[in-house]
Structure 1
Amino acid sequence: MAPVPGPSTAPISPQEHAPTISTPIQAGRLARDDPATMAQYYPPLQPTQGVGMRPPTTREEMVYPGPPPVLGDRLHNGPNYTAPGSHCLLDRPVKPEAFSAMYGGGVVTTQYGAQIGHVADLQDLYRLGLKEDSDRPDGSNFDTYPGHRSVPARRGAFKDQELRAKTALTRKMGSCIRCKMQRIRCNLDPENENGPCIACRKVNVSSRIYRLSCLRLKIVDCKLYKPGQVPGHEWTSRWKDSVLDDIEVWAPGEQRTIRVTEGYTNMFVELRVREFVPQPGDKLERTWVDKNGVLQRRAIPPFAIVDLEDAKNSYNRYMKRGLENCCVRLLGPRDKLLHKTYFFAINRVKDGQDFFLLPTERNLLALTLELWMTARLTTKTLEIIGNERLGMSLDLIDDPTNDMHHKTPVPPVLGAQIDSFLIHQIQSQLRRRTLEELQRMTQEKKQKTWLTTYLVTFILLHNIGLVTKHDAEYARKHGMKRHWAREDSVKEYEMGANTLLAYFHYCNKGIYPFSAECRDADLRSLAELDDDAIELVHYTRQYIAEHKAQWEDLWKGEGDWKDKGFKKYEHEYYYVSQLFEPNWQPRNMP
């Protein structure tokens, strides 16, 4: 018998791992007792040392090895495969690579002295005629067989110190969107580390081709809601590092049940509260500045939530039940873009029979809407309704310019408790899950998920506009000598908006889906949109055309927005409208 080729060091493709159904070759096709017969099909081989496949050591060639092949799979799928019934081995020679997938890294010695890898499965011997069919057991035990997994090679340490330094710098500075989306190394310019990366600099910039700037941004870094109370206007100093503890010292008296609402829905949340003994740092009054610039104060009794976990669960239920009512109250007429887009997303989440939507898409939309709802609860003053008002009268706040005029405010410490678990427990978790899933879906670059990423980006941008407006209103309410109550936070909101817009425009190469050049056939075949989705795209195109001039003035601070300074950032369409801006580039707030 002629020597059989030893183990191959050729790279193994992942396609070779799938199990196959073997078609045995007739016995006696190759006479294993006649070495001369075998020799005419295979060149003589010298004994070789059996070694395992070593991974490349250079960074550019480094690959992670895929799973090992199923034995004989190369014969069925590779260039040596011949249809069953033909003379595959007699008509043409079989290349040695066809045998390489059959052997592992071990070494055995044949009766002819050649060293070969261990035969991993007897089925290949029967199929190649190297073992008599008469010795083959009955049954279908050999019809299929699993692959054998090898231990994947681990990447070693860098041997090139310059490459190590470049990698460390890239990790520190971050990869730009273009390199991240194309999955290529983002090499920074050593002479200008904060400037465009080398790959972006090499892009041939044409006046007719839209090119996004080199931006090192991550979706998961977006800030989407206020971080807490405004410094200097805290309601209590009890809880540090966002850790919410129960009240330790209660005043004599029984628990009471109150109903609170922010006014966006026709619903309320019931909370069990009790009077507590104040400690230094607890605020016991509500303050505001009236239209004449005079600071107003009103004393509020010290009540707090008794069971924080129960209150948190009540709010979780309320957010799900009150979402649609909140949208109706906030989003304006049904014929406006905000209303149509939000309720399209809501209906997609509710429709369990929507076969155009993947489960991951439905989950992302649900997370986004829930996150949007929680942000509304922390940007609106809560009031107490019902019979139990903790001893406060309806005329406690008698200033018509105050949003709590003839309403009952919640006690400050109680409000701080609600803010704390909404922001640091509910919102933080929703934000992380939403942004991680959005970044994953965006970087997959699947055309089918385009509509979902658009809807999520639309809702998050609108949310940023709302929290930005709230920050300005809070500063005016408390007579601050600045436009924003939290200036650093507002700039973080804007950075988050630019991040979302940058990824959206990069993936869409501008606004193509909303342009007249995009045909319905393209939307159906590429984005797999149904009739309702295409109707939304048509409506959005029309709305863009009708408001183009108004939005351009808004972006540039011209027309009605001239000399209004930061006021344009409070407009609910300021960030949303930039989704439809041709040749978009990020703007920085002064």
Structure 2
Amino acid sequence: MNAPQEISVNVGPGSGIALAETDQNAVQTFKPASKRKYNEEKKAKVKETRDRSSCIFCQLRKKECEFTQDSDECDACLKHRSTDSPKKIWDLPCVRVQLKEALVYRNGSIRFPTGVHIVGRWDNKVSKIIRLSFPVGAFPGTEIIQRGPCIDIQCRGFQRNNIDILSRQYVSPSGMKEVKFPPFAVSSPVGARKALEALVDNNLAYFVNVLKINAHVLHRITFDEAMRQAPESSLVKGTLRIAVIARLISKSFGIIGTETLGIPFENDPSSPYYGRTPIPPMLDAQLDEIWRDILSKQKKKTLAELKRKVFSKKRRQWLETFLAIFILLQTIEFSYQHQVRQLERHRKAVG
């Protein structure tokens, strides 16, 4: 009787292997691939590169980003732009950044720079359910205020302190005006998060159409193509979600229905709340924090996927890569323009 054969296979981390048509008595032993061993000099060099990060050019070429000359640019970029270099397309500066770290939305609040803290200050145990709708007409360039899809949010009253913001000032033709609000806040952040995520997922096509309001014809055509590609591309769908949420956090919700927390409907055309029943600032800030947390996780996932596709340089992925970059750039442009308007409004309100 023949002795069992030993088959030794080296496999990398996370990889799998299937063996077929082997002797049924064979003994399969799998040896994990060993890590590359470096000497102390090489380890120090690798650590230095990781701390400094590789430039985009070297990342695309999958080459080591070395600095042997007295320059802020790596050796590869210096050589590529030298007079001895052959005809080239790449002519960007030596930039050492990570694509997944790109800032594609507003990541803070002017009025609540340190966040909202209401733990342990609830005024009563009775929660109220308010129905919120996004005012579509609040987008720049639109004239008619319409109600978008709505969500239900659970809130409770709380005991205010000296640093809580429960009012908002704005400049009207007749002078400075102030809108005061009752102390209410979100009592179930987990439930609010689920409601906000469902709002986007169930109404993505609706909000993408909102993005096209008064947009350039090329923007509208591009968003239409993105919606056609979204069912088959998680990258395109992810960038559309980022664009929609970035637009949703640009304006606060309005209250609809019978429960208004005692807040009156705003009829002043010069008010930022015109045409709706506004929500309390603390509650609005909490929803804003939840939106930004959702955006943070979506951005990390989407930009990691975008980086993989960009660096793979496969021609068949050009369309979804183009659509993703176009949508992200359009989102960045809107976010910066909105922040400029917010800063100007805040400057007028405070002084």
State the TM-score, normalized to the length of structure 2: 0.81
Amino acid at match of 1:442: V
CA distance in 1, matches of 2:96, 2:43: 20
Establish whether residue 219 from structure 1 lines up as the match of residue 99 from structure 2.
yes
Structure with the greater alpha carbon radius of gyration: 1
Establish whether residue 343 from structure 1 lines up as the match of residue 224 from structure 2.
yes
CA contact 2:128–2:154 (8 Å) conserved in 1: yes
Residue among 262, 270, 287 paired with 1:391: 262
Superimposed CA distance per residue, residues 120-179 of structure 1 (whole angstroms, 9 cap, x where no aligned partner):
xxxxxxxxxxxxxxxxxxxx86499797644433323425x3x44443332222111111
**Cα 1:224/1:216, change in 2 over 3 Å:** same
- Equivalent position of 2:129 in the other structure: 257
Gaps of 5+ in 1: 1-15, 19-63, 72-139, 240-245, 351-356, 482-590
Q: SS state of the match for residue 286, structure 1?
A: strand
Establish whether residue 416 from structure 1 lines up as the match of residue 285 from structure 2.
yes
- Equivalent position of 2:330 in the other structure: 462
Q: SS state of the match for residue 266, structure 1?
A: strand
Q: Tell me the number of residue pairs that the alignment of Structure 1 and Structure 2 aligns.
A: 325
Residue among 369, 374, 382 paired with 2:245: 374
CA contact 1:236–1:281 (8 Å) conserved in 2: no
Q: Give percent identity, aligned residues only.
A: 26
CA contact 2:115–2:289 (8 Å) conserved in 1: no
CA distance in 1, matches of 2:253, 2:344: 18
Measured after TM superposition, the shift of residue 319 of structure 1 is: 0.8
Amino acid at match of 1:234: F
CA distance in 1, matches of 2:312, 2:25: 34
CA distance in 2, matches of 1:315, 1:158: 52
CA distance in 2, matches of 1:386, 1:212: 57
- Equivalent position of 1:434 in the other structure: 302
Measured after TM superposition, the shift of residue 433 of structure 1 is: 0.7
- Equivalent position of 1:234 in the other structure: 112
CA contact 1:236–1:283 (8 Å) conserved in 2: no
Measured after TM superposition, the shift of residue 275 of structure 1 is: 2.0
Measured after TM superposition, the shift of residue 280 of structure 1 is: 3.1
Superimposed CA distance per residue, residues 36-91 of structure 1 (whole angstroms, 9 cap, x where no aligned partner):
xxxxxxxxxxxxxxxxxxxxxxxxxxxx9xx9xx99xxxxxxxxxxxxxxxxxxxx
CA distance in 2, matches of 1:374, 1:349: 16
**Cα 1:187/1:416, change in 2 over 3 Å:** same
Amino acid at match of 1:313: K
Gaps of 5+ in 2: 1-8, 137-146
- Equivalent position of 1:299 in the other structure: 180
CA contact 2:255–2:279 (8 Å) conserved in 1: yes
Measured after TM superposition, the shift of residue 419 of structure 1 is: 1.0
- Equivalent position of 2:60 in the other structure: 181
CA contact 2:115–2:285 (8 Å) conserved in 1: no
State the TM-score, normalized to the length of structure 1: 0.50
Judging by fraction of residues, say which structure has more strand.
Answer: 2
CA distance in 2, matches of 1:333, 1:475: 23
Amino acid at match of 1:198: D
- Equivalent position of 1:75 in the other structure: none
Establish whether residue 248 from structure 1 lines up as the match of residue 116 from structure 2.
no
- Where in structure 2 are the equivalents of 1:280-359 lying within 5 Å? 280-290=162-172, 295-332=176-213, 336-350=217-231
- Where in structure 2 are the equivalents of 1:521-560 lying within 5 Å? none
Q: SS state of the match for residue 168, structure 2?
A: strand
**Cα 1:439/1:223, change in 2 over 3 Å:** same
Give the structure, 1 or 2, with the largest relative contact order (CA under 8 Å, sep 6 or more).
2
CA distance in 2, matches of 1:364, 1:199: 31
Q: SS state of the match for residue 267, structure 1?
A: strand
